[in-house]
Structure 1
Amino acid sequence: MLKKPENKTRKRLRITQCVLFLAQILFCTFTFVQIPNPDPKKLGFYATVFDMFGYLGGQFPDAAQSEAFSSVLPLFFVFLVIPIVGFFFCALDKERNLKNIVSIICSLLGVFSILTIVSINFISYGSLLALLFYLLISFITAFAMMARLTD
């Protein structure tokens, strides 16, 4: 990739991408998964990404939830890895277009992983905010690619 010195507009867009990827890491502390309990007398199960890491070796509060999430529990590390990779590429790559390509790939992988791992039935407000911010990151990245073409 050709190295091109960063101007003021591209620097602002790159910093915006970095802040949005940091917000994605913050959204992992919000409730990502919402599972209603079949018994109307009991509350549902709400978990963050870090709570799901806690259930890797243990049991869920309900046996049906344990069966439903036992196969996808090891995949929850993806929700932390994707924004960390995107953040470091945007923070460290100042002159090449590689940060924009990685940012688009991270956004697509993030949306795909939320829709497949969490699934639409169990989406909570943390995962919903993450979806919206991944779309915002992809738009900012498209603007950054266009800003690189124009001087």
Structure 2
Amino acid sequence: MAKAALALSTLLLISGCAQHSNGTASGAPDSGASTEQNQPHHQETDQWVGRWIGVEGLFLEISKDDSAGPGHYLLHMRYGLDADQSGTFEGQATAEGIRFNRGGGPQLLSAGDGEATGMKWLLEKEDCLVVATGEGYCRD
């Protein structure tokens, strides 16, 4: 019984020290590392600023959200044919692309080509942004 209590105490002490010594392990982000990690992401996604064309009148316009800071964007889009399938959404650069929330929850806008859009009308395009198969926007 004493050995079990000693082993448990040692385990708790070790796990407590490990969490305390590493701020990111405890869930508290390191502000310096966060800034450095976002820097390359927004440099890539800054190149996406402008108008992208989908099919049947669908479009995506990306602009920088200067009030929110580097790596933040406003996504003005018409993403469906129904009247309620358009709007402006706030996005943030990540390693994978631009994350934003729309209707059904979190979405990711990522770079791809016409084939990645899954739409035959965009198949030959090479410079595209894709939300999901069946929703993509391209530049000529």
Of Structure 1 and Structure 2, which has the larger fraction of its residues in helix? 1
Q: Which has the higher contact order (CA 8 A, sep 6+)?
A: 1
TM-score normalised by structure 2 residue count: 0.33
Of Structure 1 and Structure 2, which has the larger fraction of its residues in strand? 2
TM-score normalised by structure 1 residue count: 0.31
